[in-house]
């Protein structure tokens, strides 16, 4: 396996469960925010994770950024098992994975100049650099994201939303990470600015071969930037496929319903047969038996309630967790 295809991030049966107080005199319930998620992400690639609110996307982001430990399963970053890493190795791994947050207005400290905000990772992780060297690296990074070196002395309130997100991207890249988790990176921006920020992310990826884990509900963004798509529902992966195949021939009824909810000018000919999602998302504390989508699926039968369908290979690099995918397609 060459370096370009070697996974930087690998998850094997990753799970994250929370104990939730169910009320007075009731036993605590278990919220399975992640339940057996597996994937691999290589350098220079973008894996998009999509699904409704409550599907487990943000929990997965917290796992990859090592904010929370997994309840079960294994997470490997740059070849190291995160759970087995000592404090020194974990510190190095945190340099490897950085994050771009959804809200550029909240992710920057209003009391710090841009210079102070961008040099902070260097102060923590590369203390051998002096103030002059740090300032030079900050100015160089601002130029890479399309801003001016003179902007380093300004405060966040002096920038537009799109400029602030460029600054947030610059901060994420200050330590030359190999993986960036982008959590809804353009959802808080005007539509006219979104394309500029997405183009910047793609240009930086071409330049540095950084890998992106993109968390998004916007399928138009996913279609533009992703290489592979992971579709999640109530903590489980229900479909995984290369972007082109998933958008052209989705196999799981849930994926088809998500795509039907997103207007597209170049929709395939059978897109008119797809219905958007109807009904309420089941409670993650009391999920349906069997397939988590069966209570809202127009193709569900009694068999769908009997067993949790495993991911099944249905084509080249394409998997779906649906016992009726042949009939649906």
The string of DSSP codes covering 89-134 is HHHHHHHHEEEE-S-TTTSS-TTS-HHHHHHHHHHHH-TTS-HHHH
> How confident is the prediction for the chain on average, in pLDDT?
90
Is residue 295 domain-resident? Answer: yes
What SS3 string covers 206-250?
HHHCCEEEEECCCHHHHHHHCCEEEEEECCEEEEEEEHHHHHHCC
How far apart, in whole angstroms, are the C-alpha atoms of residue 310 and residue 320? 8
Is residue 313 domain-resident? Answer: yes
Distances in whole angstroms, Cα of residue 101 to Cα of each of 136, 159, 176? 25, 17, 17
How far apart, in whole angstroms, are the C-alpha atoms of residue 255 and residue 51? 9
Distances in whole angstroms, Cα of residue 286 to Cα of each of 15, 295, 302? 17, 13, 19
Is residue 143 domain-resident? Answer: no
In this predicted structure, the answer to whether residue 135 has a pLDDT above a threshold of 80 is yes
Summarize pLDDT for 17-67 with one digit per residue, the tens: 999 886 777 778 889 999 999 999 999 999 999 999 889 999 999 999 999
Compute how many other C-beta atoms are within 10 angstroms of the C-beta atom of residue 79: 9
Give residue 1's pLDDT: 40
How far apart, in whole angstroms, are the C-alpha atoms of residue 35 and residue 145? 37
Give residue 89's pLDDT: 87
**pLDDT tier at 164, thresholds 50, 70, 90:** very high
Q: Percent of the chain, pLDDT > 70?
A: 93
Q: Enumerate residues 6+ apart whose C-beta is below 8 A from 214.
A: 46, 47, 48, 49, 182, 185, 221, 222, 225, 226
C-beta of residue 236 within 8 angstroms of C-beta of residue 321? yes
Give residue 198's pLDDT: 95
Q: Pick the residue with more confidence: 213 or 329? A: 213
Give residue 179's pLDDT: 97
Is residue 288 domain-resident? Answer: yes
Compute how many other C-beta atoms are within 10 angstroms of the C-beta atom of residue 189: 21
| Structure tokens, 248 | 């052209």
Is residue 45 domain-resident? Answer: no
Half-sphere exposure of 218 (CA within 13 A, CB side): 18
C-beta of residue 274 within 8 angstroms of C-beta of residue 329? no
Summarize pLDDT for 248-289 with one digit per residue, the tens: 999 999 999 999 887 654 555 555 456 668 778 888 888 999
In this predicted structure, the answer to whether residue 4 has a pLDDT above a threshold of 60 is no
Is residue 73 domain-resident? Answer: no
Q: Is the pTM of this model over 0.85?
A: yes
Half-sphere exposure of 214 (CA within 13 A, CB side): 31
Summarize pLDDT for 203-258 with one digit per residue, the tens: 999 999 999 999 998 999 999 999 999 999 999 999 999 999 999 999 999 999 99
Give residue 284's pLDDT: 87
Is residue 71 domain-resident? Answer: no
Q: Enumerate residues 6+ apart whose C-beta is below 8 A from 202.
A: 225
What's the rounded mean pLDDT across residues 110-131? 93
Domain count, the chain: 1
Is residue 289 domain-resident? Answer: yes
Domain extent, residue 315, equals 247-329
Give residue 265's pLDDT: 44
């Amino acid at each position: 396996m060459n370096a370009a295809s070697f996974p930087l991030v690998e998850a094997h049966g990753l799970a994250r469960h929370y104990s939730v107080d169910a009320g007075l005199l009731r036993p605590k319930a278990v919220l399975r925010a992640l339940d057996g998620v597996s994937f691999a992400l290589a350098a220079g690639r973008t894996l998009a994770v999509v699904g409704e609110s409550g599907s487990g996307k943000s929990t997965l982001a917290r796992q990859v950024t090592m904010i929370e430990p997994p309840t079960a399963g294994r997470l490997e970053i740059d070849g190291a098992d995160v759970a087995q890493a000592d404090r020194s190795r974990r510190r190095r791994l945190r340099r490897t994975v950085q994050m771009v947050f959804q809200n550029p207005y909240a992710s920057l400290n209003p009391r710090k100049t841009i210079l102070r905000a961008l040099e902070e990772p260097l102060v923590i992780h590369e203390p051998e650099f002096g103030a002059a060297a740090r300032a030079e690296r900050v100015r160089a990074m601002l130029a890479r994201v399309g801003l001016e070196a003179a902007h380093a002395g300004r405060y966040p309130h002096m920038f537009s939303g799109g400029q602030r997100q460029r600054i947030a991207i610059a901060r994420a890249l200050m330590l030359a990470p190999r993986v960036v988790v982008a959590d809804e990176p353009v959802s808080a921006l005007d539509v006219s600015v979104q394309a500029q920020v997405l183009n910047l992310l793609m240009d930086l990826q071409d330049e540095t071969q950084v890998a992106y884990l993109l968390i998004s509900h916007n399928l138009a963004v996913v279609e533009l930037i992703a290489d592979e798509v992971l579709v999640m529902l109530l903590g489980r992966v229900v479909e995984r496929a290369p972007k082109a195949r998933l958008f052209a021939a989705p196999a799981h009824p849930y994926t088809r319903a998500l795509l039907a909810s997103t207007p597209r000018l170049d929709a395939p000919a059978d897109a008119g047969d797809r219905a958007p999602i109807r009904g309420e998302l089941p409670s993650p504390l009391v999920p349906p038996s069997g397939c988590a989508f069966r209570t809202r699926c127009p193709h569900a039968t009694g068999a769908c309630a009997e067993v949790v369908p495993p991911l099944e290979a249905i084509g080249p690099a394409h998997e779906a967790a649906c016992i009726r995918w042949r009939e649906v397609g």
